[in-house]
Structure 1
Amino acid sequence: MGETIDAGGVDLWVERRGTGPDVLLVAGLGDTAEAWQAQLDGLADRYRLTAFDNRGAGRTPLSEEPLSVPRMAEDAAALLDALGIPAAHVAGFSGGSFIAQELALGRPELVSSLVLVSTCARPDAYFRSMTGFWHWMAERAPSERAMLEAFFLWVYTPRAHADGTVARIVEETLAFPHPQSVDAFQRQLASFVRHDTLDRLAQITAPTLVLAGELDLATPPRLGRVVAEGIPDAEFEVLPGEAHQPFQEVPDLFNARADAFWREVGARG
């Protein structure tokens, strides 16, 4: 069961599981703590995992103040402070990986390591055009189901569309009792489009693993490679046959790779 935590004046909905070294899981556009269910279930025997709803997603309200990636990184830092966690391994995907970058830049003492999944440092022309389409698609899709079915074309592999995985996720999303509003979706999306750490990546000191899906349309490997090349000594891996959310589609593979990386970081001290 989750709970609401006052994180610097923001009521963040938080799910916690397991025991061991601390891991903070940071979700992307529109996603809630449940997006990390396979990690909360699969890694709890080795780690104390914390996942949360970003502002405007799920059970965390969206305030009237301007939304930005640095502001959401401050929320993540305030959550760690409120929970009394001095440092954690931080894993973020898509927009959550943008937040994780800003967290590592703004509060480096809180970040033991970074796992950045489906990431980029500065959106390019394709990304901006794609997200511009998402912006008006959220308003004009004939139904929430149609919106999800279209949006997920950029998110999941052809395999997941063929084997029923996407259909299941659509049904679960429609049944979720805390849907994201169109306004919240658009405001989160706009903040992620403004993300830019390209000229500051060299300042990140945390050990970093960058994972990219070979078939990712939204943040293809070329964008992740730029991030890995900009962060000193970062590791970069392309996952063959995977798309934007491998932690959901192949959770055993993802969990094993993240676990191996965290153990390596821990062994280095």
Structure 2
Amino acid sequence: MGEMIDVGDVGLWVERRGTGPDVLLIAGLGDTAEAWQSQLDGLADRYRLTAFDNRGAGRTPLPEGPLSVPLMAADAAALLDALEVPAAHVAGFSGGSFIAQELALSRPELVRSLVLMSTCARPDAYFRTMTGFWHWMAERAPSERAMLEAFYLWVYTPRAHADGTVDRIIEEALAFAHPQSVDAFQRQLASFAGHDTLDRLAGITAPTLVLAGELDLATPPRLGRVVAEGIPGAGFEVLPGEAHQPFQEVPDVFNARVDAFWREVGARG
């Protein structure tokens, strides 16, 4: 069971699982703590995992006023402070990886290590055009189902579309009791489209692993490589045959890789 934790002007819905070294999981555009279910289930025997709904997603409200990646990073920092976690392994995917970058820059003492999945440092022309399309697609799609069917073309592999995985995910999304509003989707999207850490990446001091899906259309490997090259000592790996969300499509592969990385970081002390 989750709980609402006050981090200032908003309460974040938080799910915690397991025992061991602390791990903070940061979701991306529109996603909630449930996006990390395979990690909450698969890694709880080794880690104390914390996942949460960013402001404007799921059960976490979206107050009036500007929304930005640094603000969501401040939420993540305030959450760790509220939970009295002195430092955590931080993993973020897509927009969550943007938040993780800002967290590592603004509160480096809280970040024991970084895993950045499906990431970038500065959106390029393709990314800006893509997110602009998503913005009006959310308003003009004939139904929520149609919106998800279109949106997930950028998110999941052709394999997942063919084998029924995407159909199952759509049904789960439609049945979810706390759907994201169009306004919240667009405001989150605008904040992620404005993300820019390119000239500040050298300031990230945490051990970092950047992962990219070979078939990722939204944040292709070329964008992740730029992030890895900008962070001192960062590792970079491409997952063959995978797209934007391997942690959902091939969770055993993803879990094994991040577990090995976190163990390496732990061994270094």
TM-score w.r.t. the length of structure 1 is 1.00
2:236 is matched with 236
Verify the 8 A CA contact 1:8 1:79 in the aligned structure 2.
Answer: no
2:147 is matched with 147
TM-score w.r.t. the length of structure 2 is 1.00
1:167 is matched with 167
CA distance in 2, matches of 1:261, 1:63: 36
2:177 is matched with 177
**1:156 paired to 2:156:** yes
Partner secondary structure for residue 11 of structure 2:
strand
Structure 1 residue identity aligned to 2:85? I
CA distance in 2, matches of 1:185, 1:39: 24
CA distance in 1, matches of 2:190, 2:55: 13
Gaps of at least 5 residues in structure 2 are none
2:2 is matched with 2
CA RMSD of aligned residues (A): 0.3
1:8, CA displacement in angstroms? 2.6
2:108 is matched with 108
2:126 is matched with 126
CA distance in 1, matches of 2:182, 2:84: 34
Partner secondary structure for residue 136 of structure 1:
helix
2:44 is matched with 44
Gaps of at least 5 residues in structure 1 are none
Q: Which runs of 4+ in 1 moved over 3 A?
A: none
Superimposed CA distance per residue, residues 31-65 of structure 1 (whole angstroms, 9 cap, x where no aligned partner): 00000000000000000000000000000000102
1:106, CA displacement in angstroms? 0.1
CA distance in 2, matches of 1:5, 1:256: 30
- Percent of aligned positions with the same letter in both sequences? 90
Superimposed CA distance per residue, residues 143-165 of structure 1 (whole angstroms, 9 cap, x where no aligned partner): 00000000000000000000000
Superimposed CA distance per residue, residues 171-202 of structure 1 (whole angstroms, 9 cap, x where no aligned partner): 00000000000000000000000000000000
CA distance in 2, matches of 1:232, 1:76: 23
Structure 1 residue identity aligned to 2:255? N
Q: How many residues align?
A: 269
1:68 is matched with 68
CA distance in 1, matches of 2:165, 2:258: 23
CA distance in 2, matches of 1:202, 1:260: 24
CA distance in 2, matches of 1:131, 1:202: 27
1:9, CA displacement in angstroms? 3.2
Structure 2 residue identity aligned to 1:75? D
